[in-house]
Amino acid sequence: MNPKTIKWIIFVIVLSAIVLSVYFVSLDRGSFRDGVFVTTAAFLTLFIMSFLYKDNPYYKFAEHLFVGVSAAYWMTMGFWGTMVPNLVAKLWPGSVRGVLPALADKDPSLWFLIPLFLGIVLLMRLSPKGGWISRWALAFIVGTTAGLNLIRYLRSDFIQQVNNTILPLVDKTEAGISFWGSFSNIFIFVGVLCGLVYFFFSKEHKGFFGGAARIGILVLMLTFGAGFGYTVMARISLLAGRMTYLFGDWLGLIK
Amino acid sequence: MPDDVKNKAGLLERLQFIDRRYIFIFIALAVIIPLLLGLRFEEEPSPIVLALYDKIDEMPPGSRLLMSFDYGPTTAPEIQPMVDVILRHACLKDLKVYLMAVWATGQSLTVQTVEQVLMPEFPDYEYGIDYVNLGYKAGNQGLIRVIVDDMKRMYSTDANGTDIEEIPIMKQVSSLKDMDLIVSFGGGFPGIKEWILFAGDPGGIPVGGACTAVSAPQLYPYYPNQMVGLLGGIKGAAEYESHVLNTYPEAFAKTPTPGMNMMVAQMVAHIVIMLFIVFGNVMYFMYRGKERKLTLEK
Amino acid sequence: MWRRTVPIMITFFVGTVLVVAEFIPHKPFGNLGEDFSLYFDIIAVFAFILGGGNLCRVHFSKIYRGKTDWQFSIVTLLGFFVMLAAGLFKIGNPMGIQGDVTAAGSLFADLYDSIFTPLQGTMYALLAFFVASASYRAFRAKNIDASILLIAAFVILLGRTPAPSLIADFFAGAGIGFMATAFNFVPTLTDWIMDVPNLAGQRAILIGIALGVISMALRLILGVERTYLGADSK
Amino acid sequence: MCGLFCVWKMLKLKVAIFTLLFLLLSCFSAVAQTEEEISDTTASEEPSYRIPKLAPVTNLEVQDSPDDAGGEIELTWKLSADDTEDNGLVSKYVILRSQNRTSDFHIVGVANHQDTSYIDKGTQDGTEYYYKVVTFPKYEGEVRLTREEIDPLMDEFPEFTELGIKDVSMLAEYDRNLAAAFIDEILGISAVAGPVKSSAQWFNSKDLDTFIIGLVICTSVVIFIGLARGGRKLFLRRIGGLQAIENAIGRATEMGKSILFIPGIQDMDDVQTVAGITILGRIAKTIAEYDTKINMPVSRSIVMTTARETIKEAYLSAGRPDAYSDDMVHYITDEQFGYVAAVDGIMVREKPATCFYLGAFFAESLIMAETGNSIGAIQIAGTAMPAQLPFFVAACDYTLIGEELFAASAYLSGEPKQLGSLKGQDVGKVIAMVFIIVGTAFATLAAVTGSETFLEITNMIKSWFSA
């Protein structure tokens, strides 16, 4: 049989499966709406899964649908969640009376002219000549990112982590010195220092320094191995969830 | 792998790089078969799970339990079993159940849970008298901070638009402080941590949680001083289900135990992955041994 | 001047003010950071016009030129416009235009539940397969580094199942005491790896990241790094 | 044998009788007990609950909250004598505020028993306020009332409406007259404290340590940038992953295939995305020189705009502006998994020779890296997401770990002033290491010797490093 015929046969099978599914699920749940919903979700799930075998038209369909729907979803959320309450309502409170009455009677806040201006400036890219002015908006964004993150990372990732690492190397408990506790603390101490040595840019990894960097890499490898192993179970539960949907909610094989 | 290499390579070398689709099939089977067979193991509840169970179990009938749905569809496979079993337990103990969400995505999940668990399994539970769905409100931790003192400032209606004043179950509630227990489902932001910091601690209200396995370690430090108990991922759900099943065998004989079933699936898949790792390494070393032998002979 | 110097000045000014504002509780600096984040969100919504426009342009031109798979571009555009209309006009919303855009019963919520959610969940679930194939391929004891990666992952994998205690029971039954002890030790070892070596590595990475961010932020603020503006000095 | 059986039978009978008796007895006692309980409660209907007047809090002090943006006043006090840790009589402290010393006090908040401070977050800067704290009693077995029963009481005692129904409900246990006397007779009312004004500060003194540490690190970066600019030669070691970038571009050129560049899935407000874009700037120049194809799907509109600007300039500076096209960068969707679905599709259909993943990644990291691996692409990743690093390390050919991601563009630029900043970063590492070593040494000494002095030094060092 030539490949084209096979493709058409598969298409007919899939199509009839969808129709049958809608019919039976509607019958089972007593609502056509449910039938359509459950079937759509189930077949989209199968279409995506088919990618694991290889790329195919069904995956392409699901993928393209996903892109369109999700792009519009986030745009809508941006419009109703940010644009209207945080810009329009802030500048012209009266204009949102019809949609967000709670915000309509507040005083306008002129600070929000800044993002309005920058937003419009960014859109100047669409004009063939004034495109360069959009750089102003980009400059503002990059400045904001740099300024905010500098202190944020300094606080949470630098200062706090140094603080956490200051531990006594000898772990004294009421019962005397705990071997495991002390060993763990020494491990953390050495591990953090060697890890930092590994990240040094201005010194060649040679001699004692090289040895420390080597230990640093090994500690990082332990970290990565542990991180990987730890996440596996959660990932499988996601699959189990999808399978429960297919075999339970859709086919009704799992009660 | 290029074709010419494929042809020359021996069986051992090829086994080292088996088509990953075989792995996919094994993983799929490892998950599907236990689920279809409904296999389940009894799980011994860990202290942190038992603590939450005991808290709910010891609450007198009519006590008020707030369940906050702070998760979305992507983590629902992990969280939903915990929601279901705790809701069932609460209804069995005749608690008044208040449902709400600080995540926008939680709203449809509350409706779904009510339709799929509460209404069919507890037909005596009457909306407005035994339970209420307050729905989602924006504001993240800010919302929690407000309702810890004054519920009505944020909630003038329930999720269906009914005036709060007309709902009998809301008559005795003016703030979160009137709740006897808050359980937040979901480990993201805002979630259990925010409930503890902005409701539990300042209001002196017991807070429990149920979250994904990945976020559980970050929440352990709050137990037992600031948090009643915690269910972490499918394992937490399985332990709770198993314990409820043991304690109330009649009431729970026929209810589904997705957590316990998924736990078996997870375990089998886990073992399959480990077997593949072992297999890959054995093939690798056998191949290397053979290769070394060949070079020595030459 | 307007094209090169002004943007660099803007970055410098905004960046410096935000850094300094972190230490000033007084108005208007106290929550300048939050305000600017909000401004960013608003600008990002304006940018949607560019992004959405690009998406439409790419797919329209695919259809127009009849490129490979142009049929699927129709799917994208259809999904996009239907969802956009459903959301912007709040079609079918029980509370009308005043209702929450995601209110149950609206077309927007229906499309979200029946299309968006399963697709999102399934893409996410593919990870279960990829985690398996990646671990099969990557965890080979090829050298010391890889062996350590392998051992740590394997111990954690093992420790998260009830398998160790089952195996230990088996060995205890067979009278091989030391093997039983070894397997009973696995859960403890799992916790230890997570709490100690994992923690040490994470901390080294985090401290490094913080320094990387600080240095990078300074390069941006001082205008040393300006590739993003297309104003490379060379 | 038979005898034994008889004994067994008798025993069984005895056990049965005994059990029966026991059951009867216990039932009887239970009934008796309930009766007793009932009579108990009826007896206590009489107003026998004369609660002693509670001791007020002492040493009530009020001050403007330091290091804040204004609008806050801090109250501190010493616990009421009746507020003991085990089984005290106090349930909570009610905070009252007024703008004059004698009257018009109203409730602004409630602190739990055992609390010795409260922050009033609702003040007007510059206004003078007076405060007092009221000790509120604890009741066993609170009675929950309906709204109809409570409302009249609330009208009568408006101060209590803000305390919540639970607290007012207990008033019903009293008759009206008793309730009227409640405030004077039972509550412990502290002396008035004030006047106090709230105000905003210009420097957060708590952040002084952070400020100094930040200043030292920033200064060292700036100094080294300056030194390098001045022509000082600085040594920097080679990083494997960066060498690989060049080779990977070369490979794609040789094979006549495209290069896929993924700048993460976050927007430009994440510094990792910015790092990815700056690396793109360097790579794009090589790409322009080699005349290789680049495909860059993005998940954020602003990233699209920035990336276009960056690539365009790279082509310009490589002298091939006409080879640039806006289509090199295209927007897909903001949705994490929608984006991944599309990128996976692009990978299997276009089969790029090289994939770059440089930016902020979440769970999708492995989906992309595994798909990229299946098409045999060279993959170079870099992220500062600690949770995703393991997956990139496992599935990609080279991974820039954390700090290396931020350093990469400076390395690739080869400009002295950029490289100088990396040297400055190392100074930061030295600072971290020195303080870790010194702090650990003192902490260890403190643990071994048990000396208070060493402990104090340790705590002092730790306090410098507290965010």
D1 membership: H or E segment, kind and range = none
Answer whether D94's CB lies under 8 Å from D110's CB: yes
Q: CA of D368, closest CA in chain C: separation in Å? A: 9
pLDDT band at D174 (very low <50, low <70, confident <90, very high): very low
Write the pLDDT tens digit of every residue in A41-85: 999 999 999 999 999 999 999 999 999 999 999 999 999 988 998
Stretch among B91-105, C90-104, C130-144, D453-467 having the lowest mean pLDDT: C90-104
- pLDDT value at position C152? 94
Residue B44 reports pLDDT greater than 60: yes
Half-sphere exposure of A164 (CA within 13 A, CB side): 19
Residue D109 reports pLDDT greater than 90: no
With a CB-CB cutoff of 8 Å, which residues 102-141 of chain A face chain C? 111-112, 114-116, 118-120, 122-123, 125-126, 132-133, 135-141
pLDDT band at D121 (very low <50, low <70, confident <90, very high): confident
**Which residue in the set A151, A187, A225 is minimally distant from C149, CB to CB?**
A225
- pLDDT value at position D157? 54
Strand order in the sheet with D378-383: D329-331, D293-298, D258-264, D354-360, D378-383, D398-401
Q: CA of B172, closest CA in chain D: separation in Å? A: 7
Q: CA of C143, closest CA in chain B: separation in Å? A: 12
Whole-number percent of chain D with pLDDT over 90: 48
Residues of chain C with a CB closer than 8 angstroms to some CB in chain B = 94-95, 100, 102, 104, 109, 112-113, 117, 120-121, 124-125, 128-129, 131-133, 135-137, 139-142, 150, 153-154, 157-158, 160-163, 194
Residue C38 reports pLDDT greater than 80: yes
- pLDDT value at position D165? 35
The ipTM estimated for the assembled molecules is 0.91
- pLDDT value at position A85? 87
pLDDT band at C94 (very low <50, low <70, confident <90, very high): confident
- pLDDT value at position A147? 94
Residue D45 reports pLDDT greater than 80: no
- pLDDT value at position D167? 45
Write the pLDDT tens digit of every residue in B173-229: 888 988 999 999 987 888 898 899 888 887 789 999 999 887 887 788 788 788 999
CB contact under 8 A, D165 and B178: yes
Whole-number percent of chain D with pLDDT over 70: 78
Inter-CA distances, A70 with C50, C55, D337, D347, Å: 16, 12, 9, 20
Instruction: State whether residue B280 sits within 8 Å of chain C by CB.
Output: yes
- Residues listed for chain D: 467
Q: Which ranges constitute the DSSP H helices of chain B?
A: 3-8, 11-16, 20-37, 47-58, 76-92, 106-113, 119-121, 140-147, 192-195, 201-203, 216-219, 233-247, 258-297
CB burial of D239-268 (b: ≥16 within 10 Å; e: otherwise) equals bebbebbeebbebbbeeebbbbbbbbbbbb
Mean pLDDT of all residues in D34-39: 44
Fold classified for B47-256: Rossmann fold (3.40.50)
With a CB-CB cutoff of 8 Å, which residues 207-226 of chain C face chain A? 207-211, 213-214, 216-218, 220-221
Residue A87 reports pLDDT greater than 80: yes
- pLDDT value at position D24? 59
Write the pLDDT tens digit of every residue in D15-30: 666 566 656 555 555 5
Residue A110 reports pLDDT greater than 50: yes
Residue A205 reports pLDDT greater than 70: yes
Residue B8 reports pLDDT greater than 60: no
Q: Chain A contacts of D349, Cβ < 8 Å?
A: 55
Secondary structure in 3-state letters for D419-445 = HHHHHHHHHHHHHHHHHHHHHHHHHHH
Specify the residue for token string 């401290």.
Answer: C207
For residues A179 and D18, the model is more confident at A179
Whole-number percent of chain C with pLDDT over 90: 61
pLDDT band at A171 (very low <50, low <70, confident <90, very high): confident
Instruction: State whether residue A222 sits within 8 Å of chain D by CB.
Output: no
CB contact under 8 A, A163 and D462: yes
Mean pLDDT of all residues in D214-221: 94
Residue B171 reports pLDDT greater than 70: yes
Instruction: State whether residue A209 sits within 8 Å of chain C by CB.
Output: no
- pLDDT value at position D141? 37
- pLDDT value at position C175? 83
In whole angstroms, give the CA distance from residue D57 to residue D80: 4
Mean pLDDT of all residues in C68-85: 96
CB burial of B96-127 (b: ≥16 within 10 Å; e: otherwise) equals bbbbbbbbbbbbbbbbbbbeebbeebbeebeb
A6's tokens: 């096979």
**Which residue in the set D218, D267, D317 is minimally distant from C214, CB to CB?**
D218
Mean pLDDT of all residues in D393-420: 92
Q: Chain B contacts of C104, Cβ < 8 Å?
A: 107-108, 111
Write the pLDDT tens digit of every residue in C107-118: 998 999 899 999
- pLDDT value at position D275? 95
Mean pLDDT of all residues in D241-253: 91
Answer whether A45's CB lies under 8 Å from D341's CB: no
**Which residue in the set A36, A125, A157 is minimally distant from C206, CB to CB?**
A157
Whole-number percent of chain B with pLDDT over 70: 96
pTM: 0.86
Q: Where is mean pLDDT largest: A31-35, A159-163, C137-141, D343-347?
A: D343-347
Write the pLDDT tens digit of every residue in A16-25: 999 999 999 9
Q: Chain C contacts of A198, Cβ < 8 Å?
A: 204
**Domains of chain B, residue spans:** 3-39+264-297, 47-256
Whole-number percent of chain A with pLDDT over 90: 65
**Domains of chain C, residue spans:** 139-222
- pLDDT value at position B105? 82
pLDDT band at C33 (very low <50, low <70, confident <90, very high): confident
In whole angstroms, give the CA distance from residue D465 to residue C207: 13
Instruction: State whether residue D166 sits within 8 Å of chain B by CB.
Output: yes
User: To probe the interface with D, which of A55, A162, A182, A219 has the most D CB atoms within 10 Å?
Assistant: A162
Mean pLDDT of all residues in D391-414: 93
**Which residue in the set A231, A233, A240 is minimally distant from B31, CB to CB?**
A240
- pLDDT value at position D22? 58
Mean pLDDT of all residues in C174-188: 86
In whole angstroms, give the CA distance from residue D87 to residue D21: 41
CB contact under 8 A, C208 and A77: no
* Closest residue of chain C to B108, computed from CA coordinates: C104
D291's tokens: 């005349």
Stretch among B76-85, D237-246, D440-449 having the lowest mean pLDDT: D237-246
DSSP states of A134-197: HHHHHHHHHHHHHHHHHHHHIIIIIIHHHHHH---SS-EETTEE-HHHHHHHHHHHHHHHHHHH
pLDDT band at D87 (very low <50, low <70, confident <90, very high): low
Stretch among A129-143, C126-140, D243-257 having the lowest mean pLDDT: A129-143
Residue D176 reports pLDDT greater than 60: no
- pLDDT value at position D35? 44
What is the average pLDDT value for chain D, to the nearest integer?
Answer: 81
Query: Burial of D319 by CB count in 10 Å (0-12 exposed, 13-18 middle, 19+ buried)?
Result: exposed
